[in-house]
Every structure is written in structure tokens, then in C-alpha cells.
Amino acid sequence: MAVLSNEERVKILSDIIEIQSVNEKELDVAQYFQKLFKKYDIDSEVLKLNGEASRANLIAEIGSGKPVVAVSGHMDVVTTGNTALWNYDPFKLTEDNQGRLHGRGSADMKSGLAALAISLIEIKTSGTLKQGTIRFMATAGEEVTSNGAALLHERGYMDDADALLIAEPSEDGIVYTHKGTMDIQVASKGKSAHSSMPELGFNAINPLVDFIHYLNAEYAKVNEKDDLLGTPTMNSTVVSGGDQVNSIPEYAESLFNMRTIPSFDNKKFEALFNSVKDKVEKESKGDITVNPYVNRDPVYTAGDNEFIKLAKSLGDQYFNRDLPLTSSTATTDASYLMKDKDENFSFVMYGPGKTGQAHQVDEYVDKDTYLTFIDLYTQLLTRYLNDCNS
Ligand SMILES: [Zn+2]
């Protein structure tokens, strides 16, 4: 017997969609879940992000001892973009005549987060967990830097974890490896002067142009490919410098976005940038700073463990299909949560919503899929933990 009716299950999703946690206000979502959990006698802890009043993670636990399964989802969402393009109010969960629930975060990933939270309540209330611990971790800031997940890792919440389930939208496949991401700012410092007397200054743009040129040339020699993840990528996506046409610019910068793979990872990109910096500073006497400000490692596991096997068999059964075990080009909080884990760690990313719905106008999740995932998670977590030989 389910503890929560389908109406109550949809109401919870609807309530958290209404909290406009666009890269802030995760604390409001955390407090919503804290209050909900309290009703069902589940203790939880709000973990505030350093110095940020409206931002926090939430950790809740049921059961005790080993094994420990961590389940996680992020509470933040991306911006709506141009709301005029939306056919629905982005912050009011709306069902259409095809049974789709629309709203910002419906797929990415408040439905996955709500499904995890509700399965925790179902398991706690039914008393079906015979051994082990389920640790629910709702995170802040995933869409930007994963600083919420970084804090959880730093505070040791993953140290004793034996498995990790992330409920990111991936209903069409079970993901066990994904790319990393990295953003680097390259700043060039010069000295301003009137453009009629450039010899009194130093033009910050020139070394930056050299930098981009050499970097692209060096990167063209990189020949790395992963069977599942494909090649890494690198792009200069923003360039700015100078502020007046008759002044020698004292500052210029470029931003770069990289998607990384295990054989050409974040460390290798950083080393590449630093070697180009050395070359440019030597040749042009420029003053270059390389600042990696987003740094999320690729996640690699072998994808061969009992947890992922059970996830697949339940997914196949609940949705009557043959789900692929697969990879993702997107990055998740696992980049931080799995920092100290090796390829044998049991990592599964599997959740309601199609990958292609993330960050879209009129974003949606199928209501039936959302509801089914609650039952699926309840089965996955209890069966995995109860059957473990401890
Ligand atoms: Zn997401």
C-alpha cells in the first residue's frame, strides 16, 4: 500500500516547481523537504553553503549501518529564457491533455528529486528496509559549479557510501559514465595609454590573441577518444577587452569551455593552458593569468555491478522495454561526489524525464513516468540493500 496518493505525489512536485530556485533559493526547497520529512518521522539536516544566505543542501537518512546507498538530486534550475516563448507558466506545474506535466525543473530535475524523497517516505513508513542506510542528499548549485556537491564531498558525506544514484533525467537509458566540464578564464594585463602614444602603454589584446592562436594549434594535435564518451571538446566562447577605440587597452580576457574525458581530463587541459601561457609570456612579454573557475571531473565506472543490474531489470520491467546501459555528455554532481571512488564503484544515473527536455522551453515530464519512478526507486533501494551480503 502506497503511503502517498498519486494526487499527493503530484502536489509535492507542484509545490517545489513553484519555488523559483533559479541558481538560488535552494534553502526554500530544502526547508520544504525538511518539513515534509518531519511529518513522516525522518530527521534531516540543512547544510548551508558558506556565506550564502539563501543556499543550502539537505541531507536526510533512514536505516542504519552498512551498506550505504546515497541518492541525490539538485534543487536548482536554469533560467526560463524568454518566457514569451513558453505556452505554460514556467513556475506553475501544468498538466496538458497528453498527461505531460510542464514547468521549469519538471524534467531537470525536480521530478527525480521528488521521486527520491517520496520513495524515502514510502520505505520509512512501510518498514521494509531490513538493513543498511539510505542517505538522501539534495544539492544546491549543480547548474553552475556544483558547489553544493563539492561541500558534501568535502564534509565526508560520501566517505562511507557503497553506491550512488543520481536522479537526473535519463528515462531512456541508464548512465554509468559521463563527461567532465571545465571553464577557464584567461586574463591578459597590459597598461593603458593614449592611442597616439602607444609606446607609453602595453596592449593587453595582443598576447591574448596569441594565446588563443597557440592554444588552438596545440589542441589540434590532441588525439584522444573514449569508446563511449567520444572526444574531448574545447572552445573559446567569450572574448572581451578594451573600452574605447582611441585608448590602448589595459585588460583583455577570454573564456573557454571544455568537455573532458578520462584520457584527456581536467588536469591535462589545465596543463595545456599553462604551457601556452609560458610560451606567450616568453614571446610577447605579456602578463597572462589562467583561472579555471569551473572544474568538474569526468566520471568513469565500469558499469558492471549489482546495483546497475537491478536498476536495469526494474526499469525494463516497469516500463516494458530493453533499456541501454549508456554514457552522457552532460556533467552531474557525481563529478564531486565520486572524487575518491574508483571504476568499481556502483554509480547509476537514472531518473524521470528525457535528457532532451532539460533546459527547454515548455519543459515537461510524463506524469505516469514520474509516478512509476517513485515505485521503481522504492523497489531498487530496498531490494538492493536487503539482498546485500553484509
Ligand atoms: Zn540536472
> Number of folded domains in the chain?
2
- Last residue of one domain, picked from the residues 272, 296, 320: 296
Is 313 within the bounds of a domain?
Answer: yes
pLDDT confidence of residue 23: 87
**DSSP of 321-352, one letter per residue?**
S-PPEEEESS--THHHHTTT--TTSEEEE--S
Between the CA of 377 and the centroid of ligand 1 the distance, in Å, is 18
Q: Are 352 and 317 in contact (CB under 8 A)?
A: no
Residues contacting 265, CB < 8 A, separation 6+: 180, 297, 298
Is the pLDDT score of 390 beyond 80? no
Residues 18 and 149 in one domain: yes
Is 147 within the bounds of a domain?
Answer: yes
pLDDT confidence of residue 307: 98
By residue range, what is the domain housing residue 247?
183-296
Q: Indicate which CATH number applies to the domain containing 290.
A: 3.30.70.360
**DSSP of 39-108, one letter per residue?**
HTT--EEEEEPTT-TT-EEEEEEEEESSSEEEEEEE--B-----GGG-SS-TTS-EE-TTSEEESTTIII
Is 218 a residue of the active site?
no
Which residues line ion ligand 1, judged by CB < 5 Å? 108-109, 168
pLDDT confidence of residue 285: 86
Is 7 a residue of the active site?
no
Is the pLDDT score of 168 beyond 90? yes
Is the pLDDT score of 374 beyond 90? yes
Is 257 within the bounds of a domain?
Answer: yes
Between the CA of 256 and the centroid of ligand 1 the distance, in Å, is 21
Is the pLDDT score of 50 beyond 90? no
pLDDT confidence of residue 2: 82
Of the listed 76, 122, 226, 363, which one is catalytic? 76
Cα end-to-end span (Å), the chain: 28
Between the CA of 208 and the centroid of ligand 1 the distance, in Å, is 34
Is 1 within the bounds of a domain?
Answer: no
| Collapsed DSSP state (helix, strand, coil) of residue 305 | coil
Of the listed 26, 61, 108, 142, which one is catalytic? 142
Rounded to an integer, the average pLDDT of 161-166 is 98
Q: How high does pLDDT run on average in the chain?
A: 96
Q: Indicate which CATH number applies to the domain containing 156.
A: 3.40.630.10
Residues 285 and 303 in one domain: no
Residues 94 and 35 in one domain: yes
Rounded to an integer, the average pLDDT of 84-103 is 97
